[in-house]
Amino acid sequence: MAKKAYSPDPKAETIKRIQRTEAYAEKVRQLFAATVNEILALNKSVPTLDEGVMYSFDGDNMRIQKKVEALLRQLHSTTTTAIKKGITLEWEKANDACDKLISSCFGKEVLSSPEFSAWNNRNMAAMNAFANRTENGLNLSKRIWQSVQQLRDEMEIAMTVAIGEGDSAQSISRKVRQYLNDPDLMFRRFRFKKGEDEQGKPIYGRKWKKRIKDEKTGKYRWIDYDRSDYKTGSGVYKSSAKNAMRVARSETNIAYRRADNERWQQMDFVLGQRIQLSKNHPRPDICDKLQGDYPKDFVFDGWHAQCFCFATPILMDEEEMAKVTAAFLKGEKYTPRGKQITEYPANFKHWVRDNKENILASRSRGTEPYFIRNNSAAIDEILNPKPKELTIAEKAALRHEARTPEQEAAIRNAWAERQKKHQQIKTTANNIAKIAGDYGEVDYSALQKYIDAGDLSAMQTETKKVAQAILAAKKAEQALADIIPNVHSWHQQFTMAELQGVYDAVKSKIEGWSGLSLEQQAKKLHFEAYDFLGGNMKGVQQKYATWKVSQEAYIKKLDAVNYKIAIKQATEELDAVKQWSAEHPKSLNVAKLLSDAEQAVNSNAELSIIKSKTSLAVAEYQKRLAEQARRDAKKGATMKASTLPSISKEEIDRLLALYESEMVDDADNRLRQYTERIWATLTKEERIILTKYTQTYSYLNEPLRGISYYGARAREEFEHDLPILTRAIEKFAMPQNTVVRRGVSNFTIDSLGYDLGNLKKGDVFVDKGFLSTAVHRHKGFSESYNLVIVVPKGAKGVYAEPFSHYTDYHKFDYDDGVIWDGKSVEKINSEMEWIGQRGCQFKVLKKQGKTIYLQMIGQLQ
């Protein structure tokens, strides 16, 4: 995701800019004040003036005249330098804010990335052009010189007025400073006789006079003048210092805005600008009327002199910014997309149309506001919209006409930008050459030659070629990364051909094992990584220099397979918990632990976390099962006894004949599909307990048959497993009549009062345990007695050979969590077991020596 864009409080930032601007203006005021003090200090005594003669620094004292001229030239120089310094500082402030905006959106690395050099251009040539531009034919230096010349005139008038009042030299100095601060005081009042009273005494009055220069004599004289008529025009002060301070405020304020505008136009992710009111805005004026969203190429220097309205960039959405960041992290370039603001606000258009005559008149006088002059093309389009699409030539002409003086100056100074571009070409070439050195098979000798020779054109072309070669090398490494870890590190030691050879060999073996179970794959991978390669079997470490690469590849795959095995085991364990939880919605603790475990599995969390959360869920589930088993044990039998259907003598004879002739494979084929179908409906827990029974059953059958159990398994296992196994076998109803056999030793049948060897035809007895038998006459255990049992259709029992622990060399093992998948066919061994439901009731059909023929007539008895 992209970062949050840098967005300080714009009004607070504007206040800071106003404070800085006032500091620049105050510096100018101090320079003017210091110059006034130095000039006043030149007169050690009070000069004398003839009646009607004005004081002038161009008097008889040549020393004072030269000193004054030197001080004024110095004031002009220092003031101009101070304002230019302020322009530079504000330009940098604006650029710093733009840098913060870029880094907040895309990271600091973008600021130094060659791919984003256009965004980071600080436009110093444009700043110089701005500082050197002309306004009404006057550049910055000449505008400051006007204020300096005004200061000289002001001081001469102030000196004349102060001397005329007959004060001391010290008092004159003080009054001159007073007059300069308040120019209205620099009009001299003259007394004149305006008549006589009734006694004939003269009546005197006073009138204001101002100084003028007589063009014929070259001398100054006083004329009648009402000082209330002393007006300087719009935007011009009577005070020279205030005029210079106004220039300082305007220039530094505009410099900040111009720097912002130049940078925003270079940034693809800036869609426009929003012009808003500042806090320094006491009453409604043009600023209120024109605020709004403008295109980013609108040059905003303020709506009026010393305007402190502010503009903020309008950015594209975070999704596009995130794409730019993602591409940058991959070493790629992505040009963001967004709808650029091209239309001007309706209020701006209305204002332009309403003030058309004033705009045209100000243009003819050359006094139009900055925002009119700098955006003349946009203004003209509003006043005289073109009815049709302009030709390329017409558009070019409009662009030329719309260029500001600063833009024209920027074009003239384009050579400086070219110089900067040349430096970027060199920097990029050196960076690419350095990266290429990390890829031994990338030839960058030609690029290095052009760098050494300074051949920019060839350097730029070759840089692209080498960059493409590096990209190709990176892609080649990425193509191997799915099998070989740390490809780039190995590439620094071996060629791509050698690594490709390792990749192909390892991939071939891994694909050859794809049909194996995950557990078998893990064994193969472990052998290759640690036994064969790690153990240096057949001298493989001396034979192949790349043996460690192969070893890491096998270890990487082994880790992935082990993770899958663990996930599979966890999922299977959680399946049983999930089914139980669905059947017991009130058990909130199991549901919560199950949810936590499933979330860890689905989010591919670390294996230790998955195992921990799975163990907690299973433990809580088993705890609930144990509680249920204890409750069931107290209630006694939990399932109803069943009576099985009878079988005719003819069917029994047919079944026994089939039993004596049937082949092993035929018996397996007859019953396997039935087991597969029902197995798919079992819970994970039921599958585990069925598998467990094929491994160990004494802890269940001995207690059921009334025999004391002395094995290692706790009573809790009996209580936990008994209901699960009973429930599981109840799901297997035999689809056909069949015959099974069971080899047993002689035992006493308590209900009959005699042992097995004394059974007679027609006897009925019950075996309380689960019934372990074989479905083929040559399979199963051989003991002193052979019980041949006719099992009717519908009897509950499962053909266990497909999932038995004793199939295919103990492949399935409940302790290891390796359970039959419901489909695989393993090698048939000696048992071919059929497990009948507990509590089977038998009727003796006949007895031939040690072979006793029985018919199953009931279950759960």
Q: Which run of H or of E encompasses 842?
A: strand 840-848
- Euclidean distance between CA atoms 777 and 459, whole angstroms: 89
For residue 758, CA distances in Å to 742, 785, 856 come to 18, 12, 19
Residue 698 token pair: 């004494």
- Euclidean distance between CA atoms 436 and 642, whole angstroms: 82
One domain, residues 124 and 110:
yes
- Rounded to the nearest integer, the mean pLDDT of the chain is 84
The residue out of 459, 480, 501 marking a domain boundary is 480
One domain, residues 588 and 670:
no
2 pLDDT more than 50: no
Q: Residue 278 in contact with residue 306, Cβ under 8 Å?
A: no
47 in a structural domain: yes
The proportion of the chain whose per-residue pLDDT surpasses 70, expressed as a percent, equals: 87
With H, G, I as helix, E, B as strand and everything else as coil, classify residue 51. Answer: coil
Tell me which residue of 450, 455, 460, 477 sits closest to 331, measured CA to CA.
Answer: 477
Residue 345 token pair: 């606000």
- Highest mean pLDDT range out of 83-92, 183-192, 378-387, 848-857? 848-857
For residue 740, CA distances in Å to 324, 737, 771 come to 73, 10, 10
Q: Residue 229 — pLDDT band, cuts 50, 70, 90?
A: very low
274 in a structural domain: no
The residue out of 177, 206, 240 marking a domain boundary is 240
Of the listed ranges 330-334, 347-351, 491-495, the least confidently predicted one is 330-334
Q: Residue 200 in contact with residue 221, Cβ under 8 Å?
A: no
211 pLDDT more than 60: no
- Euclidean distance between CA atoms 399 and 408, whole angstroms: 11
Residue in the block written with tokens 């959106």: 105
- Highest mean pLDDT range out of 161-165, 305-309, 632-636, 819-823? 819-823
One domain, residues 653 and 709:
yes
Higher pLDDT, 145 or 109: 145
> Could you give the dihedral angle defined by the CA atoms of residues 618, 622, 624 and 629, in that order, rounded to the nearest 10 degrees?
160
Number of domains in the chain: 5
- Euclidean distance between CA atoms 281 and 104, whole angstroms: 31
Residue 518 token pair: 């995950």
The arithmetic mean of pLDDT across residues 814-830, rounded, is 88
The arithmetic mean of pLDDT across residues 26-36, rounded, is 87
Of the listed ranges 174-178, 605-609, 817-821, the least confidently predicted one is 174-178
656 pLDDT more than 70: yes
One domain, residues 475 and 500:
no
The arithmetic mean of pLDDT across residues 488-506, rounded, is 89
For residue 546, CA distances in Å to 139, 473, 481, 484 come to 73, 19, 16, 12
**What pLDDT shows up at residue 221?**
60
Q: Residue 188 — pLDDT band, cuts 50, 70, 90?
A: low
Q: Residue 370 in contact with residue 303, Cβ under 8 Å?
A: no
Q: Residue 291 — pLDDT band, cuts 50, 70, 90?
A: very high
- Euclidean distance between CA atoms 90 and 316, whole angstroms: 26
Which residue type occupies 795? A
448 pLDDT more than 80: yes
Print the domain residue range for 551.
Answer: 491-635
Cβ neighbours of residue 657 under 8 Å, at least 6 residues apart? none
Residue in the block written with tokens 């209205």: 184
289-328 burial, b at 16+ Cβ within 10 Å, e below that, comes to ebbebbbbbbbbbbbeeebbbbbbbbbbeeebbbebbebb
852 pLDDT more than 80: yes
**What pLDDT shows up at residue 504?**
94
- Euclidean distance between CA atoms 148 and 153, whole angstroms: 9
Report angle CA 6, 12, 18 to the nearest 5 degrees: 120
Q: Residue 748 — pLDDT band, cuts 50, 70, 90?
A: very high
657 pLDDT more than 90: yes
One domain, residues 455 and 499:
no
671 in a structural domain: yes
One domain, residues 472 and 597:
no
Q: Residue 32 — pLDDT band, cuts 50, 70, 90?
A: confident
Q: Residue 551 — pLDDT band, cuts 50, 70, 90?
A: very high
Higher pLDDT, 421 or 5: 421
172 pLDDT more than 70: no
Q: Residue 173 — pLDDT band, cuts 50, 70, 90?
A: low
459 pLDDT more than 60: yes
- Highest mean pLDDT range out of 7-11, 365-369, 797-801? 797-801
One domain, residues 627 and 682:
no
The arithmetic mean of pLDDT across residues 292-311, rounded, is 87
333 in a structural domain: no
396 in a structural domain: no
Tell me which residue of 833, 691, 707, 838 sits closest to 776, measured CA to CA.
Answer: 833
The CATH number that applies at residue 794 is: 3.90.176.10
Tell me which residue of 521, 820, 811, 834 sits closest to 686, measured CA to CA.
Answer: 820
135 in a structural domain: yes
**What pLDDT shows up at residue 121?**
73
- Highest mean pLDDT range out of 126-140, 464-478, 655-669? 655-669
One domain, residues 476 and 511:
no
Residue 694 token pair: 């094929």
Quick one: angle between helices 240-266 and 62-106, nearest 10?
30
Of the listed ranges 181-185, 264-268, 375-379, the least confidently predicted one is 181-185
Tell me which residue of 268, 308, 271 sits closest to 291, measured CA to CA.
Answer: 308
- Highest mean pLDDT range out of 356-365, 405-414, 738-747? 738-747
637 pLDDT more than 50: no
The residue out of 576, 608, 635 marking a domain boundary is 635
The arithmetic mean of pLDDT across residues 62-86, rounded, is 88
Higher pLDDT, 516 or 189: 516
One domain, residues 503 and 573:
yes
Q: Residue 254 in contact with residue 406, Cβ under 8 Å?
A: no
**What pLDDT shows up at residue 231?**
44
772 in a structural domain: yes
463 pLDDT more than 80: yes
**What pLDDT shows up at residue 4?**
53
One domain, residues 132 and 19:
yes
Sign of the torsion angle spanned by Cα atoms 520, 522, 528, 532 = negative
Higher pLDDT, 637 or 506: 506
Strands 754-755 and 785-791: unpaired
The stretches of 636-681 forming alpha helices (DSSP H) are 649-661, 664-679
- pTM confidence score: 0.41
Cβ neighbours of residue 70 under 8 Å, at least 6 residues apart? none
**What pLDDT shows up at residue 215?**
58
One domain, residues 544 and 670:
no
Report angle CA 223, 227, 229 to the nearest 5 degrees: 100
One domain, residues 443 and 511:
no
Report angle CA 340, 341, 344 to the nearest 5 degrees: 160
Strands 851-859 and 785-791: parallel
293 pLDDT more than 90: yes
Which residue type occupies 369? P
**What pLDDT shows up at residue 621?**
81
Sign of the torsion angle spanned by Cα atoms 316, 318, 322, 325 = positive
74 pLDDT more than 90: yes
Higher pLDDT, 624 or 377: 377
Cβ neighbours of residue 779 under 8 Å, at least 6 residues apart? 664, 830, 831, 832
With H, G, I as helix, E, B as strand and everything else as coil, classify residue 314. Answer: strand
708 in a structural domain: yes
